[in-house]
């Protein structure tokens, strides 16, 4: 197998380029100096000009013609001697100039090598840090010092990238741990119920029915959590489909699906559903509004209220969902958008809450290039407002059902 030829390093190539440029510049200066020196060396300031010599040579012979010819020959002889002296002088200095150029090339190469090394030192630091950093050592940073130049900007950008990676890995580890913990609970319920029931020697049909009911509840919770995880992963991967969709229609559908749960909790629902057209993934957008409505209903108080408002303006489609409930500290609002984060344990979320509702909302909104904000209400509860870039209204939709404000009471 033939040995693979190794390319010269950037430092060597830079040093060679600097040295070649230096030698070429010195050679050009020497050539210009020699050209100027050749014209001025051994020049006779009293010599006649070329025009005068041509006039003398072409003048008709007179009485002193021999004298004119003698002067012409003497001048020509002197010029030939000057040319010889010039050539001898240039030849004698050519060797010295060549030696000087060689010395300049060696010194320039050495200086260029040192300068290139100093300039590329931050790159070596960056390379060494990149080799050290791994999944378990994301806390390390380059922290390059020095003037604000391109290399420092590159190092700072790399540090920022590692900071984002560290935050992403921490969030991923926390998410996996929380998901495993949340999924372990319903599975433990199923396993414990089955073991207890099988350990009984004489089990009645009522006991088996109660166990089956607990298994159904636990598996339903696990299924909803898996659906939430899949929706979160899908929204985090970005929006693939871009279709016209009306958030008002999505809100009407979500309210219709949650009607029974709201009625059992004795909630009063007020709606003002005006067209809110957007372009995006209809499945994710429906899930977005459905999570907002479900969150407002489940995290409420018996006999409370929910208000859902949709509309558009200023190039944005807006959905606002308000609900009653316990008082929430403003410092804890942002935590609600993290996966598996819950506040008060006595809220009416029940076993149907997976802790992923608002986390999925934020992920879907960001995937569609929008924003979502939440603020606690004065009397308790939460107001969530999301804004998405407005799109074209769907050609065939049920927007006729939401053209005018509607109010429903329970």
193: tokens are 């119920």
Identify whether residues 128 and 46 lie together within a single domain: yes
CATH (domain of 212) = 1.10.287.130
Query: 358: which residues sit within 8 A by CB, 6+ positions away?
Result: 291, 295, 336, 337, 374, 384
Domain final residue, candidates 200, 232, 264 = 232
Identify whether residues 118 and 189 lie together within a single domain: no
Between 60 and 392, the higher pLDDT residue: 392
Identify whether residues 82 and 15 lie together within a single domain: yes
* 307 sits in which H/E element: strand 305-313
Neighbours of 136 (CB within 10 A): 7
Identify whether residues 255 and 226 lie together within a single domain: no
pLDDT tens profile 237-277:
665 678 899 999 999 999 988 888 888 889 999 999 999 99
Identify whether residues 190 and 247 lie together within a single domain: no
Residue with token string 């010092």: 145
Q: How many domains does the chain have?
A: 3
Domain final residue, candidates 132, 159, 192 = 132
Does residue 403 belong to any structural domain of this protein?
yes
Does residue 189 belong to any structural domain of this protein?
yes
Q: Domain range spanning residue 225?
A: 150-232
Domain final residue, candidates 132, 163, 189 = 132
Q: How far apart are CA 155 and CA 141, in angstroms?
A: 9
Identify whether residues 173 and 320 lie together within a single domain: no
Identify whether residues 172 and 313 lie together within a single domain: no
Identify whether residues 189 and 227 lie together within a single domain: yes
Identify whether residues 227 and 248 lie together within a single domain: no
Q: What is the pLDDT of residue 247?
A: 94
* 73-87 average pLDDT score: 72
Q: Are 252 and 196 in contact (CB under 8 A)?
A: no
Identify whether residues 124 and 162 lie together within a single domain: no
Identify whether residues 202 and 272 lie together within a single domain: no
Query: 137: which residues sit within 8 A by CB, 6+ positions away?
Result: none
Does residue 141 belong to any structural domain of this protein?
no
Counting every residue written for the chain, the total comes to: 410
Of 41-45, 65-69, 331-335, 377-381, the range with the lowest mean pLDDT is 65-69
* 188-206 average pLDDT score: 78
Residue 54: pLDDT band with limits 50, 70, 90: low
Residue 347 has pLDDT above 50, yes or no: no
In the predicted model, what is the mean pLDDT of the chain? 76
Per DSSP, 3 falls in state P
Q: Are 183 and 222 in contact (CB under 8 A)?
A: yes
């Amino acid at each position: 197998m033939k040995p693979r030829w190794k390319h010269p390093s950037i430092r060597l190539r830079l040093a060679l380029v600097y040295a070649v440029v230096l030698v070429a510049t010195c050679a050009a200066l020497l050539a210009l100096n020699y050209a100027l020196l050749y014209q001025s060396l051994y020049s006779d300031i009293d010599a006649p000009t070329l025009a005068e010599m041509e006039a003398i040579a072409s003048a008709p012979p007179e009485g002193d013609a021999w004298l004119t010819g003698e002067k012409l020959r003497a001048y020509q002889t002197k010029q030939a001697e000057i040319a010889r002296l010039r050539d001898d002088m240039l030849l004698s200095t050519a060797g010295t100039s060549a030696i000087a150029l060689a010395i300049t090339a060696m010194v320039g190469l050495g200086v260029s090598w040192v300068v290139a090394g100093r300039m590329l030192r931050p790159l070596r630091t960056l390379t060494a840090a990149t080799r050290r950093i791994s999944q378990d050592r994301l806390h390390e940073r380059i922290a390059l010092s020095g003037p604000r130049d391109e290399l420092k900007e590159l190092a700072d950008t790399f540090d920022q990238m590692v900071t984002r990676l560290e935050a992403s890995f921490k969030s991923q580890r926390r998410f996996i741990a929380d998901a495993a913990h949340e999924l372990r609970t319903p599975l433990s319920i199923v396993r414990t119920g089955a073991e207890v029931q099988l350990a009984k020697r004489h089990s009645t049909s009522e006991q088996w029915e109660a166990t089956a009911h607990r298994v159904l509840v636990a598996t339903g919770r696990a299924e909803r959590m898996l659906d939430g995880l899949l929706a979160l992963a899908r929204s985090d991967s970005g929006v693939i489909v871009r279709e016209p969709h009306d958030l008002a229609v999505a809100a009407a559908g979500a309210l219709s699906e949650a009607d029974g749960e709201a009625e059992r909790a004795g909630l009063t629902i007020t709606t003002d559903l005006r067209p809110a057209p957007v372009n995006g993934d209809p499945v994710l957008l429906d899930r977005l509004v459905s999570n907002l409505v479900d969150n407002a209903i489940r995290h409420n108080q018996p006999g409370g209220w929910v208000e859902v408002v949709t509309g558009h303006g200023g190039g944005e489609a807006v959905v606002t969902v308000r609900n009653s409930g316990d008082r929430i500290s403003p410092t804890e609002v942002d935590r609600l958008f993290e996966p598996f984060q819950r506040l008060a344990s006595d809220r009416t979320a029940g076993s149907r809450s997976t802790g992923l509702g608002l986390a999925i909302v934020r992920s879907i909104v960001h995937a569609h290039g929008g924003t979502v904000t939440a603020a606690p209400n004065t009397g308790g509860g939460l107001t969530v407002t999301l804004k998405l870039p407005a799109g074209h209204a769907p050609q065939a939709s049920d927007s006729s059902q939401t053209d005018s404000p509607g109010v429903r009471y329970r």
